[in-house]
Structure 1
Amino acid sequence: MTLANQLTLFRIVLIPLLVIVFYLPFAWSYPVAAMIFTIAAITDWLDGYVARRYNQSTPFGAFLDPVADKLMVAVALVLLVGAHANAWLAIPALVIVGREIVISALREWMAELGKRASVAVSYVGKVKTTFQMLAIIALLSVSPDSHADWLILGYVMLYIAALLTLWSMVIYLRAAWPELMAETTVSPSE
């Protein structure tokens, strides 16, 4: 078990802790939930750095890292949508989670065709992830009933992340479009 894989597993272990802390009936639960998510976001960057720097890339890590990322973001967004209970947060959350489902399915399908590199992570995707993580941290850090600047900043960054999410999805779909539109014969069993 490499250090990079341990960091990824640690991020998954933080998910139930995030949920428990978020629902605690104390004023400090919001900033502590934001801190837990921040630690998870840092381990997301750190496990990739460690894997590349120390040549610790493994098939298990390549599988688990994106799963951990998507679980952490999806759980945080579900918590926030439930707490904020408004369309202003639900719409960008839906865009972000929906895109992750579409792109994950696209990557899996392209991998079956041996063309996984066509839908590799792009620069826009990395910028999107940065805005997404910062937005979630800002939104987790304060009560949804507050009028804190962090809340406004969180909403703005989440909308920027949602726009970048759509942009990156278009990039991925364009790269895969020739394969998606290729005419092939389908066997009767399909």
Structure 2
Amino acid sequence: MHINLPTWLTLFRVALLPVMVLVFYLPFRGHNLTAAIVFVLAAVTDWFDGFLARRLNMTSAFGAFLDPVADKLMVTVTLFLLVEAHRDGWSGIVMAVTAAVIVGREISVSALREWMAELGRRATVKVAFIGKLKTVMQMVALVVLILQHEKEAKLLSLYNIGEWLLVIAGALTIWSGLHYLLAAWPYLREPIADREA
């Protein structure tokens, strides 16, 4: 199997995940800034591999499979790190609930797309603008929270901004999930016998 440049970038994004986790926990000065930079680098490769695949017509079945997997791994691993780092009080509850909503939506929409693909209707649940807006908001929130996950007093307001951005991303997550569900609902209501006929 030939692996093209966009797919190598996607694999590189996956390889950055353990690096980010390691840096997140290592006790050196500026570790949070370094972890945020690694996350941003991974996010940039997410955009760049898609751009190259379209611009250079270098799409592949493996790349099309791996790209959304890498995206979801990046977001999920980062959310787990942040939830583990913020377990106290209402802030911890908000973080955990928001993370659960985001991860639950990612799993549900992935399953929905797989089901719709089996029906030959994958285009019905293709990525919409609300999904892209959710992704941007989510990425910005995660960068801010990684950068300030230790909640230093002098930058507490920055942490609060990240927390609110993540809550907004969680709300957009629910909205976009409902958007995809409503688009697929007419096909989900059909009896299985009708589909097979």
Q: Which TM-score bucket, shorter chain as reference?
A: over 0.9
C-alpha distance after superposition, 1:21-40 (max 9, x if no partner): 11111241111111100000
Give unmatched runs, 5+ long, in structure 2: none
Task: Name the structure 2 match of 1:146.
Answer: 152
Cα displacement (A) at 1:103: 0.2
User: CA offsets per residue over residues 48-94 of structure 1, 9 Å max, x none?
Assistant: 11111111111111000000000010000000000011112111111
State the distance in 1 between where 2:119 and 2:66 align: 21
Q: What is the SS of the residue equivalent to 2:193?
A: coil
1:107 is aligned to 113
Q: How far 1:179 sits from its partner (Å)?
A: 1.2
1:44 and 2:52 correspond: no
Q: Deviations over 1:112-154 (max 9, x none)?
A: 1111101100111001000000100000002333242321111
Equivalence for 2:170: 162
Root-mean-square deviation (Å) = 1.2
The answer on whether the counterparts of 2:105 and 2:174 sit within 8 Å (CA) in structure 1 is yes
CA distance in 2, matches of 1:184, 1:13: 41
Percent identity at matched positions? 52
Residue 22 in structure 1 maps to residue 30 in structure 2: no
Matching residue of 1:80: 82
> Is 1:70 the equivalent of 2:66?
no
CA distance in 2, matches of 1:49, 1:156: 30
- How many residues are aligned here? 186
Q: CA deviation at 1:185?
A: 3.2
Corresponding position of 1:96: 102
Could you tell me which residue of structure 1 aligns to residue 183 of structure 2? Answer: 175
Runs ≥4 residues deviating over 3 A: none
SS in 1 for 2:192: coil
Please list every run of 5 or more consecutive structure 1 residues that lacks an aligned counterpart in the other structure.
none
TM-score, with normalisation over the residues of structure 2?
Answer: 0.91
The answer to whether structure 1 residue 184 and structure 2 residue 186 are counterparts is no
TM-score, normalization by structure 1: 0.95
